[in-house]
Structure 1
Amino acid sequence: MLTPGGDGPVESLADLTIVGAAEELRAGRVKAVELVEAVLSRARATEPHVNAYAHLDCDAALAAARDADRKWSDGQISGPLHGIPIGIKDLIATRGMPTEAGSDVLAGNVPNVDAAVVRRLRAAGAIITGKHRTHEFGIGMNAPPTRNPWDLTRYPGGSTAGGGVSVAVGSSLAAIGTDGGGSIRKPAAINGVVGLKPTFGMVDADGLVPGGTSVDHIGWLTRSVADAALLHDVLSDQPGSDRPVRAARPRIGCPAYFFDGIEEGIAEVVQRAVESLAERGAEVVLMDIPGMSETPRAHTLLVSWESARLHREWMDACPQRYHPASLRALQAGSRVADADLQWARDQRRRVRIAIDDAMDEHDLDALCTPTLALAPVPMAEMDPERLLPEYCRLTLPFNLSGHPAASVNCGTSPLGLPVGLQIVGRRYCEPTVLRLAAMTELPAMRPQPLPGVAEDQAAIV
């Protein structure tokens, strides 16, 4: 029976990791068409329940798979992703495929060129399955909603919700997304998969529908740390430097701010993960980083101002085409005072320095924190203006600072829902983050069987 990178049996090709699928393709045991058909079949089975895709391009994906098989036969291997089906967030431009940013404002928009990250994927042999749903422009809410496959009534994460859900259920082997305040790491934690946000600027953002330009990172969600590392090698502008992790006793900091106010069920799971690192030889340092409590306000001011500036013409021309919550957020950004904006910019610089200084002072290889402070709430109770800041509280400081950060599955809460451990490294030290993530990684979690859909869930928005 096929194995996901050697880790154990799987039911279907759609459950393979990238590393496992690439091994099967290289060995000739699987054709690219078979792999893509399995993923598309999983998509057709799960989409009525989870709504992860805004646009699923079966014909183009199968045509690309047939072409990949012809190249295999001729000995023409494009790269390490040859024949691998991957989905793209609907904020990232794709040639000949809709890129609508989850908004009526861009309805019908079909770019004639790929974003830089998509060009790299194609050059490495990847097959694009379609576009994953996003919150409107990455700032509003997801409508119609992507659903949490662990509990279809609960928050699925955002704004790369479609990508996180797709990887979890097997309708893509990886998802390329964006992270402006936790938008990759949140759905990674909620869906039991791996999410990596590289150092700010490490991945070319050309072709990204702009939002908070000073905090937006391109990153990805995968089923394993090894897959995340492979995508980093393919998509990053540079491989990243490394502060070698001390093999015998790596030093990991646990800042107090990130452990305050955490739901008990999440705190217990994360604590066990940290203890498991200590059992494997890590030295855990309890410490803190000054100024973290100021980061939510600074982040809100920057993102709202930058987004409002970029959307000004559209807001003037067609305000009725925005979701009301998105429009309110953008209008608030138009009212940010110059003094507040300057404070936020200064705070961003102070946060970056504070994190660097704290890691230097305690001689740390990385920081470990919970990814989220609370479990996903029922969507019927989801008040974005009240709850989204709390869901982003532990992730957004590293968007301001630009440090690389990953979320890795570390267990399940008493509710039976996945819990994420966030690992943060020094800037440009993604290899360190990934090495430590591999030390604590649990197998990717896929809900099986997918929960049924209750009749009254059709009305959830």
Structure 2
Amino acid sequence: MDPYQLTATQALTKLKDGSLTVEEYARSLLERIEKRDDDVQAWAYLNPEYVIQQAKQLDSLPPEERGPLHGVAVAVKDIMYTKDMPTQHNSPIYEGDDPKLDAASIITLRHAGALILGKSTTTEFASITTGPKTRNPHDTTRTPGGSSSGSAAAVGDFQAPIGLGTQTGGSTIRPGSFNGIYAFKPTWNSISREGLKVYSLILDTIGFFSRSVDDLQLLADVFELEDDVPPHNDFSIKGSKFAVLKTMVWPQAGPGTVAALDAGAKLLRDHGADVEEIELPPEFEKLPEWHGIVLRSDGRPTFLPEYRVSKDKLAGVLVGHVENEYQISRAAQLEAFDGIASLRPKIDEIAGKYAAILTPSVVDEAPVGRETTGSPAFNAIWTALHTPVTNIPGFKGENGLPVGLSLIAPRYHDRHLLEVSKVVGEIFEAEGGWTRQVYQ
């Protein structure tokens, strides 16, 4: 196996035992990127000389000074400030902008010894649904999803073992599904968002991409995600109780998602789980509408500075936020804020009865073209409710492209959810019918 194919956990083992240097690892990843960049185009900025400079510096550290992510390469979504690299938000307003500081998340990663590989593409300000230049590595005629397009595509194409994204609607879970990888959205506000362009203070959450749950757990350690009660690390499907939840947007589900949800539930039952299909109470029906109100309302002050300075360079949908094109009243905002808040403890109570809730990640396979990054319909409600979510790969749609399923747990049960996701992921990947490939 070439070094670029290693998961972060596998790479760490080799870096620790001396069978691989950070420079060798970095050069292998850079060769992979060079080979595949014309097809996938996952990067907004990447400087190979700077990558090797970082790698040599990490190799020079004595063992006792090496961090828990020593040498692990990370793709960083280009809305997070990075010193020594531009942060451009895929916006002509910030083209070539060179911040002099790191975002809080990047400070944390550097302190842990991570190798910051480069800046990955995003939609404009991680907001609009028109895709960037990036293509889906499994079918380059299709979108990799958004807005964390580049991070997900880079991880899915073995150009990086780990990627950072964000989610305001479905920008971590949806591209995770489209690219056939694990994606994790922690409980809201578990990770500092200082130093990134925030779309909505009430919705925005930093998320992770990887090709293994072990790697998600590494990141959870570094960012100190903790449950009140530490989870058991011997979780077993047999005898555990799961819920299957189609949600109020189920009529939008395509054949790939319909088949995946049926197959996922069957696999859990085949492995000894008690699986119960449930429905949300009627009071949850307004969640999609309320999420939209919050998103557009928070967008008004967020993009006002760019509107004032460079309205002609701002995407029309963002101009619409500032100008309140939907005529959202303050009373409607309050109803949405308070309505969503009242539902959060209710979903905690429902989810707390199960090991996890199994629910769709996407409408279907990645759609053709990059005019849209796909619908966040199956993600937005969980973003609004602040629950942790994991996308589990393993299934495929009618065109053979990956379709994932989501696992949901109550708020601040992140480590529990990761333990469950690891066991479920092993089953879904082995028996779900879709196999990850290394494209040449």
TM-score (norm 1): 0.88
- Give how far 1:165 is off: 0.3
Rate the CA distance shift 1:196–1:26 in 2: closer, same or farther, 3 A: same
What displacement does 1:433 show? 1.2
Q: CA deviation at 1:167?
A: 0.2
1:61 aligns with 2:45: no
Q: Does 1:211 align with 2:199?
A: yes
CA deviation profile, 1:310-335 (whole Å, cap 9, x unmatched): 21122022111113344334434684
Residue by residue over 1:186-238, the C-alpha shift from the partner in whole angstroms, topping out at 9 and shown as x without a partner, is 11100000000001111111112110110100111001011011111112354
CA distance in 1, matches of 2:436, 2:315: 32
Q: Distance in 2 between matches of 1:39 and 1:100?
A: 23
Separation of aligned partners in 2, 1:239 and 1:358: 18
Query: What's 1:267 paired with?
Result: 258
Residue pairs, 1:277-288, within 5 angstroms: 277-288=268-279
Query: Residues 435 and 215 (structure 1 numbering): CA distance in 2 closer, same or farther, change over 3 Å?
Result: same
Deviations 1:41-81 (Å, cap 9, x if unpaired)? 1111111111111001212211111111111xx32442121
What secondary structure does 2:332 align onto? Answer: helix
For the Cα contact (< 8 Å) 2:130–2:372, is it kept in 1? no
Kindly indicate whether residue 267 of structure 2 is the aligned counterpart of residue 276 of structure 1: yes
Alignment equivalent of 1:374, drawn from 364, 376, 380: 364
Q: Report the secondary structure of 1:228's partner residue.
A: helix
Partner of 1:222: 210
Match of 1:6 in 2: none
Report the CA distance between 1:239 and its aligned residue.
5.7
The range that moved more, 416-425 or 333-342, is: 333-342
- Cα deviation, 1:134-165, whole Å, max 9, x if unaligned, reads 11111114554211111111121111011110
Aligned to 1:102: 90
- Give yes or no for contact 1:102–1:142 (8 Å, CA) kept in 2: no
Within a 5 Å distance, the mapping from 1:390-429 to structure 2 comes to 391-429=375-413
CA contact (8 A) 2:235 2:420 kept: no
Secondary structure at the counterpart of residue 195 of structure 2: coil
* 1:324 matched to 2:316: yes
The match for 1:155 among 143, 168, 187 is: 143
* In 2: Cα distance, 1:449 partner to 1:113 partner: 36
2:338 matches 1:346? yes
Who is 2:186 aligned against? 198
Describe the SS at the equivalent of 1:396: helix
Sort the Cα spacing of 1:134 and 1:241 in 2 relative to 1 into closer, same or farther, 3 A.
farther
Out of 38, 41, 48, the position equivalent to 2:38 is 48
Aligned counterpart in structure 2 of residue 166 of structure 1, from 154, 158, 175 = 154
State which of 414, 417, 429 in structure 2 corresponds to 1:430: 414
Amino acid at match of 2:177: A
Relative distance call for 1:259 and 1:296 in structure 2 (3 A) is: closer
Distance of 1:58 and 1:35 partners within structure 2: 13
Inter-partner Cα distance in structure 2 for 1:96 and 1:426? 39
- 1:307: how far off? 1.6
Task: Give the match for residue 296 of structure 1.
Answer: 288
**Matches of 1:70 and 1:43, distance apart in 2:** 25
Shift, 1:17, TM fit? 0.3
Q: Would you say the 8 A contact 2:8–2:72 is kept in 1?
A: yes
**Whole-angstrom distance in 1 between the partners of 2:335 and 2:161:** 42
What TM-score do you get using the length of structure 2 for normalisation? Answer: 0.92
Cα contact 1:101–1:136 (8 A) shared by 2: yes
Instruction: Give 2:421's aligned amino acid.
Output: A
The alignment partner of 2:247 has SS state of helix
Gap regions ≥5 residues in structure 2: none
- Conserved 8 A contact 2:297-2:321: no
| Equivalent residue number for residue 80 of structure 2 | 92
| AA aligned opposite 2:258 | A
Distance change in 2, residues 1:246/1:288 (3 Å): farther
Q: How far did residue 182 of structure 1 move? A: 1.4
**Contact 1:191–1:445 at 8 Å: present in 2 too?**
no
**Cα distance between partner residues in 2 of 1:192 and 1:368:** 17
Q: 1:275 to 1:180 in 2, by over 3 A?
A: same
- Corresponding position of 1:3: none
Distance change in 2, residues 1:55/1:182 (3 Å): same
Distance (whole Å) between structure 2 residues aligned to residue 272 and residue 321 of structure 1: 46
Tell me how far apart the structure 2 counterparts of residues 309 and 104 of structure 1 sit (CA, whole Å).
20
Q: State the alpha-carbon separation in 1 of the partners of residues 207 and 372 from structure 2.
A: 27
Partner secondary structure for residue 257 of structure 1: coil
Q: Percent identity?
A: 25
Paired residues, what number?
430
Q: Secondary structure at the match of 1:379?
A: coil
- Structure 1 residues 313 and 259, CA gap change in structure 2 (3 angstroms): closer
Instruction: Quickly say closer, same or farther: Cα 1:358–1:270, change in 2 above 3 A.
Output: same
Give the whole-Å Cα distance in 2 for the aligned partners of 1:145 and 1:351: 38
- CA separation of 1:237/1:366 partners in 2, compared to 1, >3 Å: closer, same or farther? closer
Task: Tell me the distance in 1 between the aligned counterparts of 2:130 and 2:14.
Answer: 36
Aligned pair partner of 1:39 in 29, 33, 36 = 29
Distance in 2 between the 1:155 and 1:147 partners? 5
State the Cα deviation string for residues 371-430 of structure 1 (Å, max 9, x = none).
0122222117x457xxx5xx2111111111111001010222221101111001111111
Shift of 1:175: 0.4
Q: Are positions 1:112 and 2:96 aligned together?
A: no
Structure 1 pair 157/212, CA: closer, same or farther in 2 (3 Å)?
Answer: same
Partners of 1:334 and 1:267 in 2: how far apart?
33
> What CA distance in whole angstroms lies between the structure 2 residues aligned with 1:219 and 1:144?
19
Structure 1 match to 2:10: 20
Report SS of the residue matched to 2:84.
Answer: coil
| 1:259/1:369 contact within 8 Å kept | no
